Structure 1
Amino acid sequence: METSQKLAGKVALITGGNSGIGLATAQRFVAEGAFVFITGRRQAELDAAVQTLGAQAFAI
């Protein structure tokens, strides 16, 4: 998938970003260049999501 980096330098907060639609949204935002902060109820899943998303993602 080719990305435009139209979110480069932007910051996003995604609730429920550790799974499902929230995780898919976070993946797309990171692919478009955004820094992403995700929240979720299960710490283990949050940690796994951050590992999947890479250096531009943070769990809060």
Structure 2
Amino acid sequence: MFLHRTALLMILGCFLAVPVLLDWWLAPSAAWYRPFLIWLLLIAFCLLLDLRRSRQDV
């Protein structure tokens, strides 16, 4: 299977960023809506990528 350079860079970035994001996410002084905000941003990002991909397929 061929992996693109950007996918490999994204995987490496996730390995480096996840510990910092988990500390930020699970901080005891965090607002109650912080996890929901993170999930909302992730879903919106995936939606934008899917819309962009579907336009290129047409």
User: So what's the TM-score if we normalise by structure 1?
Assistant: 0.27
> Which of the two has greater helix per residue?
2
The structure richer in strand per residue is 1
If asked which structure has higher relative contact order (CA below 8 Å, sep 6+), I would say 1
